[in-house]
Amino acid sequence: MELVMALAIGILFTIGVYLILSRSLLRIVLGTSLLTHGVHLLLLTMAGLKTGSAPILGKAESYVDPLPQALILTSIVISFGVTAFFFVLAYRSYQVLGTDEMDSIKEAME
Amino acid sequence: MSNLLVLPILIPLCTAVLLIFLRGKLRLQRGISVVSSVLTVLMSILLTEHVHKEGILTLQMGGWAPPYGIVFAGDMFALLLVTAASLASLAILLYSISTIGEKREHYYYYTFYHFLLAGVYGSFLTGDIFNLFVFFEVMLISSYALLSLGGTRLQLKETSKYLLINIVSSTLFVAAVAYLYAAAGTLNMAHLSLRISEAGQGGVLNVIAVLFLIVFSLKAGLFLFFWLPGSYSAPPAAVRALFGALLTKVGLYAIIRTFTLLFVDNAGPPHSLILWMAAATMILGSLGAVAYKDIPRILNYNVIISVGFVVLGLAAGTRDSLDGAVFYLLHDILAKALLFILGGLIISAAGTDRLSGMGGMIRRYPLLGWMFFILALALVGIPPLSGFAGKLLIIRGALDAKLLTLSLIGLGSSFMVLYSLIKVFRQAFWGIDVEAERPMVSMKGSLAVAAGLLVLVAAIGIGAEALFAYVSQAGSVLASPEQYIQAIMKIKE
C-alpha cells in the first residue's frame, strides 16, 4: 500500500510542479492545489497506514492514529481558503492587467 | 493566570470578527481597533511581568495533558516579542488611521490587520509545531489580503508572486511536519526536543532540520529573500511598516525556536548552513541597500541585513550572542516600524519615492529630518541608543565562538546600514529645496506617533540595564531548553 501511495504522491508533485512552472496564472493555481493534495497524502502515509482500522481506541484490536487525519483536515481547510483567494486574485489580475500570462504581466508593468 | 496566555491571540481575533459587522462605521472601527490594541499591549506587559516573577506559563487546550493536546507556552522570549510586536502594531495602527485612506478602510482593512496580529502572536506563543503552521497561515492569508488591498497594478503583480512563493513554502512546511512526525512520532515541541535528543541528531533528522530551515528562511528573508524587496514595496507605507516590523520577525522567531529547542546539534551540517546563510544575507542585503535609489527598496534591504545579523547571534550559539539576538529582535521590531513610518512620511512629503526627486526638506520638515537621523544612529548601534546593546552582545558572542570573519561581516553590514540611511538623509533633507512650491503636507498626528516610537527606541537603549534582566531570562531558556521542556512536560507526572 505504501508503494501505491508513494507513486501517487510522486505523480501529484510532478504534475503540480509542472503546472506551477507554466506561464498561465490559471494553470499555476491548479498546480498549487495539486501540490497540496500531494502533501496531504504524504502526511497520511508518513504517519503509517493501517488498512481497515478505525481511529477508535479500545473498540477494536488495532486502531489507526487519528492525529494525521486531524492535521490533514486542518491543512485542507487552509488550502481551500488560499486556493479560493488565489483564484479571485488571478481573476482580478486578468481584469486589471488584461492578461493571465505571467510574462505579459511583467511586460505590462514596464 | 495561565488561561490569560490565550488573550493576546483572542483579543485581536475577536476584534477582527467584530469589525466585519461594522462595515461603513469607520469612526467606530477605528475606536475599537485602538482600544483592542491598547488592551493587547497591557495584557502582554502583564503576562511578561508574571513570567518574570513566576517562570514559564503553559496552557493546555481542553485540559489534554501534553504530548497529546495542543499546548501554548509563554516563555520570556515569546512574551518579550509579543510585547514589542503589540507596541509596534499599536503605533502602526495609529499611523495607518491617518494615512490609509477611507477606501481601504471600507474594505475591511482593520479586520485583516487584527487577523494578521492574531497570527503573529499565535506563532510566538504556540508550543506545537503543527499549530505553528496554522498560525503562520492565519498571518499569511491576512498579509495576502493587506498586500493586494487597493488593487493597483503593481500590487496585483507582486501579490501573485508573494502568494505563489508562500504556498510552495507552506507545502514544504507540511511535508517537513510529516517527515518529523514519521521520525519522532510527536508534534509537541518540548516532547520533540526530548525525542530528538534521545535518538541523536543525524541522517534523517538533519534533512528534516534543513527542510525546516528552508521553509522558515523563505518567510524570514534569510538568504532566500529574492521576493522580499519587490513584494514589500508594493503596498502603502502603513502596511509596509507592519510587514517590515513583524512578518520577517515571525520567521526569525521560528528559526531561533526550532534550532535552539529541537535541532540543537552545534556541529552538524544544518548549523554550518545557518552560518553561511547569515553571512550571505548580510553581504547581499548590504549590496542591495547601497545600490538602490528609491526609499522603499533601501528600507527593505535594511530589513534583510538585520535578519542576517540576528541569525549570526543564533549561529554563534553562546549565551551572550543568544541574549544579544533577543535584545536585537526587540529593538529591531520597534525601530523598523519607526523606520518605515518615517520613510512613508518622507515619501508623502516629497511626493515621490525616488531619492533623485528630493532635496532640502530639512527647512520645511525639521522634526522629521532629525528624527530620521537619530533613528539611523539607533539602527547602526551608536550608544546610548537601542541598537547598541544587542549588537555588542552578538558580536562579543560571535568572537567567543571564534567566528572572526562573520563578526567582521556583521560590523561591515552595520556601516552599510549607516551609509544607506545617511544617503537617504543627505539626499532628502540637505541640498537644494527642489519642491519649494509644493504645499506643506500636514503630518502632526503621524509625527506624534513617530515621536512616541522614538521615545520607546531610546528607552530600550537607555534602560538597557533594566531590560537586560528580562532579556537574559529569555536567553537562558534558549541556551538551556531543559527549562522549557520541564515547564511543559512536568504536568504529565
Please state the ipTM of this predicted complex.
Answer: 0.93
Nearby residues of B37 by Cβ (< 8 Å), 6 or more positions away = B86, B89, B90, B93
> For chain B, how far is it from start to end, CA to CA, in angstroms?
21
User: To the nearest whole angstrom, how far is the Cα of B1 from the nearest Cα of chain A?
Assistant: 29
Model confidence over B276-293: pLDDT tens digits? 999 999 999 999 999 998
User: To the nearest whole angstrom, how far is the Cα of A14 from the nearest Cα of chain B?
Assistant: 13
User: What residues form DSSP beta bridges with B60?
Assistant: B71
Cβ <8 Å between A47 and B181: yes
CA–CA dist B458, B417 (Å, integer): 18
Nearby residues of B99 by Cβ (< 8 Å), 6 or more positions away = B236, B237, B238, B344, B348, B446
Nearby residues of B366 by Cβ (< 8 Å), 6 or more positions away = none
Residues of B in contact with A39 (CB under 8 A): 171, 174-175, 178
Instruction: Compute the average pLDDT of residues B6-13.
Output: 95
C-alpha closest to that of B109 among B238, B230, B228: B238
Cβ <8 Å between B157 and A20: no
User: To the nearest whole angstrom, how far is the Cα of B462 from the nearest Cα of chain A?
Assistant: 44
Element (H, E) at B260: helix B248-261
Instruction: Compute the average pLDDT of residues B102-107.
Output: 90
Model confidence over B180-229: pLDDT tens digits? 999 988 899 999 999 998 888 778 899 999 999 999 999 999 988 999 99
User: To the nearest whole angstrom, how far is the Cα of B198 from the nearest Cα of chain A?
Assistant: 20
CA–CA dist A10, B44 (Å, integer): 45
Grid coordinates representing B41 are 499591549
Q: Please, which pLDDT band fits residue B492 given cuts at 50, 70 and 90?
A: very low
Element (H, E) at B339: helix B319-350
Q: How many CB atoms neighbour CB B230 within 10 A?
A: 16
30-69 in A: which are within 8 Å (CB) of B?
Answer: 32, 35-36, 39-40, 42-43, 45-48, 67-68
CA–CA dist B439, A11 (Å, integer): 62
Q: Coil, helix or strand for B72? A: strand
Q: What is the pLDDT of residue A54?
A: 73
**Taking CA atoms, what residue in B is nearest to A91?**
B156
E-assigned strand segments in B272-351: none
User: What residues form DSSP beta bridges with A24?
Assistant: A101
Percentage of the residues of chain B whose pLDDT score is greater than 70:
99
Q: Look up residue B60 and give its DSSP letter.
A: E
Model confidence over B369-423: pLDDT tens digits? 999 999 999 998 888 888 899 999 999 999 999 889 999 999 999 999 999 999 9
Model confidence over B419-439: pLDDT tens digits? 999 999 998 888 887 766 777
Q: Residue A21, exposed/middle/buried by CB under 10 A (0-12, 13-18, 19+)? A: exposed
Q: What is the pLDDT of residue B330?
A: 94
Using CA of residue B375, residue B379, residue B383, residue B387, what is the dihedral sign? Answer: positive
CA–CA dist B151, B134 (Å, integer): 27
Q: Look up residue B4 and give its DSSP letter.
A: G
Model confidence over A99-108: pLDDT tens digits? 777 777 776 6
User: What residues form DSSP beta bridges with B58?
Assistant: B73
Cβ <8 Å between B167 and A105: no
Is some CB atom of chain B closer than 8 A to the CB atom of A15?
A: no
Q: Please, which pLDDT band fits residue B115 given cuts at 50, 70 and 90?
A: very high
Using CA of residue B402, residue B404, residue B406, residue B411, what is the dihedral sign? Answer: positive
Model confidence over A57-109: pLDDT tens digits? 776 677 788 888 899 999 999 999 999 999 999 999 888 888 777 777 776 66
Do residues B28 and B15 lie in contact, with contact meaning Cβ atoms separated by under 8 Å? Answer: no
Q: What is the pLDDT of residue A110?
A: 60
Instruction: Compute the average pLDDT of residues B353-360.
Output: 85
CA–CA dist B477, B97 (Å, integer): 38
User: What residues form DSSP beta bridges with B188?
Assistant: B128
Q: What is the mean pLDDT of chain A?
A: 87
**Taking CA atoms, what residue in B is nearest to A33?**
B167
User: Which residue did the predictor score with more confidence, B434 or B252?
Assistant: B252
Residues of B in contact with A90 (CB under 8 A): 160
Candidates B108, B129, B156: best to mutate against A (most CBs of A within 10 A) is: B156
Grid coordinates representing A60 are 477494536
Q: Please, which pLDDT band fits residue B3 given cuts at 50, 70 and 90?
A: confident
C-alpha closest to that of B418 among B464, B384, B386, B382: B382
Do residues B46 and B79 lie in contact, with contact meaning Cβ atoms separated by under 8 Å? Answer: no
Q: What are phi and psi of B58, to 5 degrees?
A: -130, 155
Instruction: Give Cα B102 to chain centroid, integer Å.
Output: 27
Is some CB atom of chain B closer than 8 A to the CB atom of A82?
A: yes
Grid coordinates representing B8 are 493576546
Element (H, E) at B59: strand B57-60
User: To the nearest whole angstrom, how far is the Cα of A12 from the nearest Cα of chain B?
Assistant: 13
Element (H, E) at A74: helix A67-97
Candidates A9, A39, A76: best to mutate against B (most CBs of B within 10 A) is: A39
CA–CA dist B169, B140 (Å, integer): 11
Q: What are phi and psi of B149, to 5 degrees?
A: -65, 125
B358 pLDDT exceeds 90? no
Model confidence over B29-69: pLDDT tens digits? 999 999 999 999 999 999 999 999 988 999 988 888 777 88
Amino acid making up residue B397: G
Residues of A in contact with B175 (CB under 8 A): 39, 42-43
The residue whose grid cell reads 542591495 is B288
The residue whose grid cell reads 515569546 is B78
Burial track B31-44 (b if 16+ CB lie within 10 A, e otherwise): ebbeebbebbbebb
User: To the nearest whole angstrom, how far is the Cα of B68 from the nearest Cα of chain A?
Assistant: 9
User: Which residue did the predictor score with more confidence, A23 or A56?
Assistant: A23
The residue whose grid cell reads 552578538 is B394
Helix spans in B21-108 (H): 26-54, 76-99, 102-106
CA–CA dist B238, B342 (Å, integer): 10
Q: Please, which pLDDT band fits residue B493 given cuts at 50, 70 and 90?
A: very low
Instruction: Give Cα B185 to chain centroid, integer Å.
Output: 31
Model confidence over B324-345: pLDDT tens digits? 999 999 999 999 999 999 999 9
Residues of B in contact with A85 (CB under 8 A): 141, 144-145, 163
C-alpha closest to that of B160 among A31, A22, A99, A28: A28
Q: What is the pLDDT of residue B1?
A: 65
Q: Please, which pLDDT band fits residue A39 given cuts at 50, 70 and 90?
A: very high
Residues of B in contact with A86 (CB under 8 A): 163, 167
Residues of B in contact with A67 (CB under 8 A): 181, 187
Cβ <8 Å between B156 and A93: yes
Q: What are phi and psi of B362, to 5 degrees?
A: -65, -30
Model confidence over B134-177: pLDDT tens digits? 999 999 999 999 999 988 888 998 999 999 999 999 999 999 99
Q: Tell me the range of B21-30, B98-107, B109-118 where mean pLDDT is highest.
A: B109-118
User: To the nearest whole angstrom, how far is the Cα of A11 from the nearest Cα of chain B?
Assistant: 15
Grid coordinates representing B435 are 519642491
Q: What is the pLDDT of residue B220?
A: 92
B362 pLDDT exceeds 90? no
Q: How many CB atoms neighbour CB A14 within 10 A?
A: 13
